[in-house]
Structure formats: structure tokens, C-alpha cells
A and B are shown apart, each in its own frame.
Chain A
Amino acid sequence: MSTAVDTTPQTKAPRNGAISTTLRRNWWTIGLLGVLAVLLVVTKIIQPSYGPAGIQGLAISVLPLALAAVAQTCAVIARGIDLSVGSIMALASVVSATLMDERSEGFAVVVVLGVLLLGLVLGAVNGALVVFTRVPDIVVTLAMLFVWAGCALLVLNTPGGGSAEWLGNVTRGPLVTDWIPKAAVLLIVVVAVIWIPIRRSRAGLSLYAVGSDPLAAFRSGVSVTRTKIFSYMLAGLFSALAGLSLTATTGIGTPVPGPYTLMSVAAVVLGGVSLAGGRGGVFGPVVAVVILSLLRTDMTFLNLDTNLATVAQGLILVGVVMIGSLIQLRRER
């Protein structure tokens, strides 16, 4: 995965410097992994019985949030932001749950593909509006947050519908040993299958180019319009995947968007993706999501109010961003 989090496109580094280059480029992600390791140890200490079951639960709760974080990352890398992630998830979730309810298992395959296509289309609408109206990304996606959430409510007014048997089986339960949850494997496979080819292609390079300097990218012959739309389509696709995973893990469709948009922005920032665009990868945000979820679990183990976990998540978000900005400011001086 280490290549997937490189902050700059592949350059041929001298062989002996390769390791230190990797370290230097990914110090943030490596630090995050360290925090995660410490947190896992802490979890084990405060709750000695934490084991496979805990890991399973963690993976299932992480899955939708991690996919949402990846969606947000795609938009942010190209110097955008997608505040409609949560609503696209809700729409994907209710559409899949209504269509799959009491239908055959085979039909569910069609539904899944259809919902993914829907995600791409919704993302394309977001992107096209951003590009062609020239209204700032924040405003457009904030408005589309309303629109897609409204559509979700029109499809299904209250939580309901159903999910295909196999879709639940793909996400729930262990694989091979008790220690490897299917949800985690699914997450890694899905993200890797979509992200790595893009990352290594011309399209991925364009995403980073547009994100770090749209004007320079334009002058080097990158179509900013197409790249922007592409980034929002990717965000839509991953949001739809996140919505599907919600339906799959809970068995029903939920029309009201959860706190996913907010948490996805938090995860992106914590994951070392610069909100100014052009920097970061999908791996960091996913690790950040795991950390945030584990933190919540730990706080319940400590018999702390889960609301305090919300406070902690907010404080961590604010604190990390402040420290990040401070480092940036000092460097500029």
C-alpha cells in the first residue's frame, strides 16, 4: 500500500535513498499507524477480553465511514470538497434497500451495479455544477447535500427495505481465521481495485496536478474541467459504495444521512490529506477512521459517556488541524 500514499507522482529515487524517501513522504501515515498500534495496546489493557469479536465489530463499524473518507479524499485531492457524501450514501442506501427488498439474490447483483452507476451519475452532477456554474465547491456541495437528502427521503420516508442475503454475508463474519474480518478485507480489496489503477494512470496524475495548481495543470495540457468532474465522480462512486455497505451491514436502508460527511472531512484532515489539494492518499484517512472508531470503543470500555467521544473527536479534529496549520505557518516564515 505504501506506493498508494505517495504524495507526489512516481519519481525514480536513487535506490539507496528509496527507504528514507518513503519514510519522509509518509511520515504522517507512519505516525498514524503508530498511534493506532498504541491505541490497540491500550484497548487490550483496559479491556483484556478484547479479541476477535471486538475486531469484527470494529471492522463493520469502520467500513461505511472508511469508504466515505475515501470518497472525501478523492474530492479533496483535486482541491475540492464534497459535503454531499453523507446524502449520497443515504440515497444509495435507500435505493438499494428498496430495490432489493424481497427480490432474488441474483437481482441484487444488478441492483448493486445500478447503485454504483447512480453514485457515478450523482458525482458527475456535483462535478458538472461545480465546474460550469463556477460557484465554489463548498456552496455547490452544501446545496446538493440538501438535494440528495431530499431525494433519499422521497424514495423511502422511514428506515426500511431489505438487503440480499449474500450482500450481508460479504460484510459480516470472519475470513479464514477469527482475526481477519471480512469487512476489512472487503474494504482493502474494493479501495485497492478502484484506487491503485487510477493512482498509477494519467487520470490519477491529473487529479494531483489539478489539486496542487490548477493553472499550472491547465497550462501543461490537463483538462481541469474533466479532472474536476472525474474527482467528483470518484467521490460519488465511493459514497455509493459506503451507502451500499450501510445497507449490507444493517440489512435496511436509512434515509437520514448520519454524521458521515463531517466525519469524512475529519478523517481526511487527520489522514494527512491537505485541504489545499494535491497532497495525500487514501490510506491515511482510512487509518484515521479506524483510530476514531477505536477511540469511541475505548471510551465505552472506560464507561465514559459516548457523547464525550463526540467531544473528543471534535477536539481531535480541531487540534490536529490547528497543529497542522501551525507547522505550515512556521515553515512559511
Chain B
Amino acid sequence: MSITETPTRQRPRWTTASGLRALFRERPIIPLLGLLALLVGLSELIRPGIVSPNWAGVMLRAAVPLAILAGCQTMTMLTAGIDLSVGAVASMSGFLVATLVGDTGLVLAILIALTVSALVGVVNGIGAGVFRVHPLIMTLGMSLVVLGLANVWQLMRVQTGSGVPTEFRQLGANLLFGVVPVSLLLFIPLALLIVFILNRTGFGRLLYAIGDNPVASRLSGAKSWQVLTLLYVISAILAGIAGFLYSGLTNVASVTLADTALLPSVAAAVIGGTSILGGRGSYSGTMVGALILTVISSILSSLGYPEAVRQILFGSMIVFVAAAYTRITTD
């Protein structure tokens, strides 16, 4: 967070007004909210009358699980890591609950799913923290393991599993008064907790410190392996919770359910101003990023563009936004 300006090398070529640049650098959430407003306006232009309280509720409902997964990416990216196992973990936990709930009851099923998620997080964290494996490789490898094991589990439980529990469907898909998504009731405390952890606790400070300068944080006594292990466990548990919401939202439990959300989750964090190099970013930006991606998706599908166009646009956006942030923050 503490990028010091070097006045000798200032070449303002990307923007002329350095004030605008400072705005992007210090408060990326303001231009992001502007972009979000612009996109909402665009939706209204394309389909006059579409923007309504109900529409907003639907958008929020779709953005909530994505925002949770993007929270995993934000926190891991702060330490210059990344968690590519969130897609597999989320699918696995949703699937696990759906197959177990008939036998064990909801509470136990949820506990089992979250415990398994946490175990994946422990392995990720030990790999990244103790063995210093690049988190990208570590979490990719673990996503293979999780996917494979989930498939094995699927074959073992052929036809015995019941569907997605009704509680999840209410949680993931229902709108209170047709406006407020039920999932928001779960998400708001969760988001407040993440923001609190990042801004107000020593653990959160350590995340920024490790990402900003690993050597300096080690010399000042931070035990990075403990921090990283806890971080990846938190990330995996969040992914598990997001998996419940995804299975509830779509009323589907499959071992690849949340895989398509993996790359958007990275995109949301990058668009929200979190640097993949570590030490810079905030969860508030990420939440807006998730909303922006959701609104763009809805615009594209309302225009009848195929999935392919959405992918191309998302990809281009990541590069463009990341490039813009890099330009703004490192001159």
C-alpha cells in the first residue's frame, strides 16, 4: 500500500491530470462505481424499463457467490498468491452436501463439506507457506485432486444422493419481497468480516505486509507460513460457502458446477484494483468488480450474444484494466 513516488521519473503520459491518477490509485472504488453506474445506464438504454428493484435483486443474487469467490482471490492475491482451487472446492462442497443431506441431515452435511474444504485449504497453505511452492501450481494441482476425488465420490454414490436441499435453494435463489436476495443476508456479515479482517486485524496487516515485501515482513518477525496456512484455509472455507450458494442458485449439484466461476473470480479481483503482485487491493473494490462483471454478463445475454463473446470481452477487460492499473500505480 505504500508505493512511494519517485519524482525524478514522473512521465504522465497515460492521463494528463495527475489528480485523476491519484484518485485511481488511492480510491479505485470511485471510478469503479462510476463504471457500474454507466453499465446500469447502458442496460436501461438497451432494454428500456429493465432496471427495476427486482432486476437489481437478480443482479445482486448472481453477484453474491461470485463476490465470495473473488474474496478468496483478493485475500490470496494480497500475499502475491492466487487460489485456483476455489472452483473445484466450491463445486465439491455443494455436491457433497447435496449427496449427504439425505443421510446425515443438513447441519452435519454442511459441517462435513466445510471440513473437507478446510482440509484442502490446509494442504494448499502448507504447500505455499512451508514448502514455498508457487501458489498457482499448488492450487492448480489441488484442484485436480479435488475434482478427481469428487468424481470418485460421485461414482460411489450413484443415485443414492438426493438433490440440493431446499434450504440452499431458498438461500441461493429466493428474493425477499421480490427485491432483496436471501443470500445477501449471509453475504453482508461475511463481507463485513472480510473487510474487518483485512483492515482491522494483525492478520490482515500481515497479509498486506507479506505481499508488499516478504523479506521485510520476515525480518520483522512475521511467521509467514502460519499466516499463509490460515489464509488458504479461510479461502477454502469461503469457497465452500460459495459452493452452497451456487448449488442453491442453479438447483444443480455437479462436480464441475462452479468451474466456470473461477476465471471471473480472478477477473473481479483484478478489476476491483487488487494487484496480483501483492500488497495492494481491497475487498470493497472486489465486490464492485463482481457486480460489474455480473451486469456485463446480463447485458451481453440480453443482447443475445453467445457465451463466446462474453469470454472474449471478459478476457480483454482483464488485460485492459490490469494494464491501466499497472500504468497508474507504477510510474
List chain A positions with a Cβ less than 8 A from chain B: 81, 129, 133-136, 138-140, 142-147, 149-154, 157, 262, 265-266, 269, 275, 305, 307-315, 317-318, 321-322, 325-326, 328-329
Contact = CB atoms under 8 A, between A and B. Distances in A.
A145 B277 CA distance: 20
Interface string B131-169: 111101110111111011101100100000000000000
Given A154-B308, A317-B144, A275 B134 contact: yes
A322 B133 CA distance: 6
SS of B interface (majority): helix
B138 A311 contact: no
A211 to B, nearest CB: 15
B319 interface: yes
A313 B155 contact: no
Contact of B318 (A143, A151, A311, A318): A143
B152 A311 contact: yes
Interface residues of B, number: 47
22 contacts: A129-B319, A129-B323, A133-B322, A138-B276, A139-B266, A144-B315, A150-B312, A151-B308, A157-B308, A262-B144, A265-B137, A313-B144, A314-B144, A315-B145, A318-B123, A318-B133, A318-B137, A318-B141, A318-B145, A321-B137, A322-B131, A328-B132
Contacts of A151: 308, 312
A149 B149 CA distance: 27
A163 B314 CA distance: 32
A317 B137 contact: yes
Contacts of A315: 141, 145
Nearest to A136: B276
Interface of B: 82, 123, 127, 131-134, 136-138, 140-145, 147-149, 151-152, 155, 263, 266-267, 270, 276-277, 306-319, 322-323, 326-327, 330
Contacts of A152: 308
A139 B318 contact: yes
A135 B322 CA distance: 6
Given A135-B319, A321-B141, 14 more contacts: A135-B322, A135-B326, A139-B318, A139-B322, A150-B313, A157-B306, A275-B137, A310-B144, A310-B147, A311-B148, A314-B148, A317-B144, A318-B145, A321-B131
A145 B322 contact: no
Contacts of B144: 262, 310-311, 313-314, 317
Contacts of B314: 143, 146
A150 B312 CA distance: 5
A150 B311 contact: yes
B323 A135 contact: yes
Nearest to A133: B323
Contact of A150 (B143, B309, B326): B309
Contacts, number: 145
A317 B140 CA distance: 9
A330 B138 CA distance: 20
A262 B147 CA distance: 13
Contact of A310 (B148, B267, B316): B148
Given A142-B266, A151-B308, A305-B155, A134 B330 contact: yes
Nearest to B77: A139
Contacts of A157: 306, 308
Contacts of B138: 318, 321
Contact of A153 (B270, B307, B317, B318): B307
Contacts of A326: 131
A145 B310 CA distance: 13
Contacts of A81: 136
Contacts of A265: 137, 140
A305 B152 contact: yes
A79 B148 CA distance: 30
Contact of A147 (B141, B270, B315): B315
B136 A138 contact: yes
A129 B316 CA distance: 11
A322 B125 CA distance: 12
A133 B326 CA distance: 8
A313 B141 CA distance: 8
Contacts of A329: 131-132
A144 B82 contact: no
A235 to B, nearest CB: 17
B323 A153 contact: no
- Which 5 A-B pairs rank lowest in CB-CB distance, beginning with the nearest? A314-B144, A146-B315, A310-B148, A150-B311, A133-B323
B81 to A, nearest CB: 11
A134 B152 contact: no
